[in-house]
Chains A and B, each alone.
Chain A
Amino acid sequence: MIGFAARRILQALIVMLVVALLAFTMFRFVGDPINQMVGIETSIEEREALRERLGLNDPVAVQFFRFITNAAQFDFGTSYQFRQPVSELFAKRIPATLELSFTSALFALIVGIPMGIYAGLNRESPISKLFLSVSLIGISLPTFFIGILLIFLFSVTLQWLPSFGRGETVQIGSWWTTGFLTISGLKALILPSITLGLYQMTLIMRLIRAEMLEVIRTDYIKFARARGLPDRLVNFRHALKNTLVPVITITGLQLGAIIAFATITETVFQWPGMGLMFLQAVQNVDIPIMSAYLMLTAFLFVTINFIVDILYFFIDPRLRVGRP
Chain B
Amino acid sequence: MSVLDIKDLRVEFPGRKSVFVAVDDVTLSVDAGKVLGVVGESGAGKSTVGNAVIGLLQEPGHIAGGEVYLHGKRIDQLPYKEKRRLRGRKIGMIFQDPLTSLDPLQTVESQLLETIRTHLPLSRSQARQRAIELIESVGIPDASERIKQYPHQFSGGMRQRVVIALALCAEPELVIADEPTTALDVSIQAQILDLMKKLCRERNVAMLVITHDMGVIADITDHVAVMYHGELVEYGETTQVLGAPEHPYTQSLISAVPRPDIKVERFPVVNYIEKAGTPQKQIDIASHWLGKARDYEKVTGPLVQIKDLEKRFETRGSIFPSRRKYFQAVKKVSFDINEGETFGLVGESGSGKSTIARLITGLYQPSGGSILFGKTELTSLKNRKDVLAMRRQMQMIFQDPYSSLNARMRVSDIIGEPIKFHRLASSNAEVRQIVDDLLDHVGLGAAAGKKFPHEFSGGQRQRISIARALATRPRFLICDEPTSALDVSIQAQILNLLKDLQQELGLTMLFISHDLAVIRQMCNRIGVMRHGELCEVSDCDQLFEAPQHPYTRELLNLMPSLELLSRANLATA
Contacts and interface: CB of A to CB of B under 8 A. Distances in A.
21 contacts: A220-B101, A220-B103, A223-B95, A225-B84, A226-B54, A226-B95, A227-B88, A227-B166, A227-B169, A228-B89, A228-B119, A229-B114, A233-B114, A233-B118, A242-B105, A316-B104, A317-B104, A317-B105, A317-B107, A317-B152, A321-B153
Contact of A223 (B86, B102, B119, B169): B102
Contacts of B101: 219-220, 222-223
B147 interface: no
B87 interface: yes
B106 A227 contact: no
A214 to B, nearest CB: 13
B149 to A, nearest CB: 9
Interface string A202-232: 0000000000000000111011111111110
A27 B237 CA distance: 88
Contact of A315 (B92, B96, B105): B105
Between B95, B114, B170, the greatest number of chain A beta carbons within 10 A of the residue's beta carbon is seen for B114
B88 A226 contact: yes
- Bin the interface of chain A by size: 20 to 34
Interface in B69-91: 84-89
A241 interface: yes
A121 to B, nearest CB: 12
Contact of A237 (B89, B95, B106, B166): B106
Given A226-B88, A315-B105, A317-B105, A220 B118 contact: no
Contact of B93 (A223, A233, A318, A321): A223
Nearest to A315: B105
Interface string A300-324: 0000000000000001111001001
B376 interface: no
A92 interface: no
Contacts of A229: 88, 114-115, 118
B86 A228 contact: yes
B69 to A, nearest CB: 19
Contacts of A224: 103
Nearest to A230: B118
A102 to B, nearest CB: 28
Given A222-B95, A230-B118, A316 B100 contact: no
B150 interface: yes
Interface in A225-257: 225-231, 233, 237-238, 241-242
Contacts of A315: 105
Contact of A228 (B88, B106, B107, B316): B88
Contacts of A233: 114, 118
Nearest to B99: A219
Contacts of B92: 226-227
Contact of A318 (B96, B104, B115, B118): B104
Contacts of A226: 54, 56, 87-88, 92-93, 95, 167
A324 B56 contact: no
Given A218-B100, A225-B56, 9 more contacts: A219-B100, A222-B56, A223-B102, A226-B95, A228-B88, A228-B118, A237-B114, A317-B104, A321-B153
A225 B95 CA distance: 12
A242 B316 CA distance: 27
B216 to A, nearest CB: 20
A220 B114 contact: no
Interface of A: 218-220, 222-231, 233, 237-238, 241-242, 315-318, 321, 324
A103 B266 CA distance: 73
Contacts of A324: 316
B531 to A, nearest CB: 20
A238 B219 CA distance: 35
A47 B145 CA distance: 75
A227 B316 contact: no
Interface string B531-569: 000000000000000000000000000000000000000
B49 to A, nearest CB: 14
B97 interface: yes
B95 A241 contact: no
B85 A228 contact: yes
B152 A228 contact: no
Contacts of B86: 228
Contact of B115 (A218, A222, A227, A231): A227
A324 B170 CA distance: 39
Contacts of A225: 56, 84, 87
Interface string B27-54: 0000000000000000000000000001
Contacts of A228: 84-89, 115, 118-119, 170
B111 to A, nearest CB: 8
The 3 closest A-B pairs by CB, nearest first: A228-B88, A228-B87, A226-B93
Given A227-B88, A228-B119, A324-B316, A219 B104 contact: no
A219 B150 contact: no
Contacts of B115: 227-229
B106 A223 contact: no
Given A229-B114, A233-B114, A223 B163 contact: yes
Between B103, B115, B118, B150, the greatest number of chain A beta carbons within 10 A of the residue's beta carbon is seen for B103
B369 to A, nearest CB: 29
Contact of B166 (A223, A316, A321): A223
B181 to A, nearest CB: 15
Contacts of B97: 219
A242 B84 CA distance: 23
A218 B100 CA distance: 7
A231 B80 CA distance: 11
A87 B194 CA distance: 73
A134 to B, nearest CB: 25
Contacts of B96: 219
Interface in B101-154: 101-107, 114-115, 118-119, 150, 152-153
A318 B152 contact: yes
A253 B316 CA distance: 30
A223 B95 CA distance: 7
A321 B150 CA distance: 10
A238 B110 CA distance: 11
B117 to A, nearest CB: 10
B103 A242 contact: yes
Contacts of A237: 106, 114
Nearest to A231: B84
Contacts of B54: 226
A222 B84 CA distance: 13
A225 B54 CA distance: 10
Contacts of A316: 104-105
B50 to A, nearest CB: 10
Contacts of B152: 317-318, 321
A237 B110 CA distance: 11
Between A228, A318, A324, the greatest number of chain B beta carbons within 10 A of the residue's beta carbon is seen for A228
A79 to B, nearest CB: 45
A228 B106 CA distance: 17
A223 B165 CA distance: 13
Contact of A230 (B84, B166, B169): B84
A223 B160 CA distance: 12
A316 B104 CA distance: 8
A227 B102 CA distance: 12
Contact of B102 (A220, A241, A318, A321): A220
B105 A241 contact: yes
Contacts of B105: 241-242, 315-317
Nearest to A238: B103
Contacts of A317: 104-105, 107, 150, 152
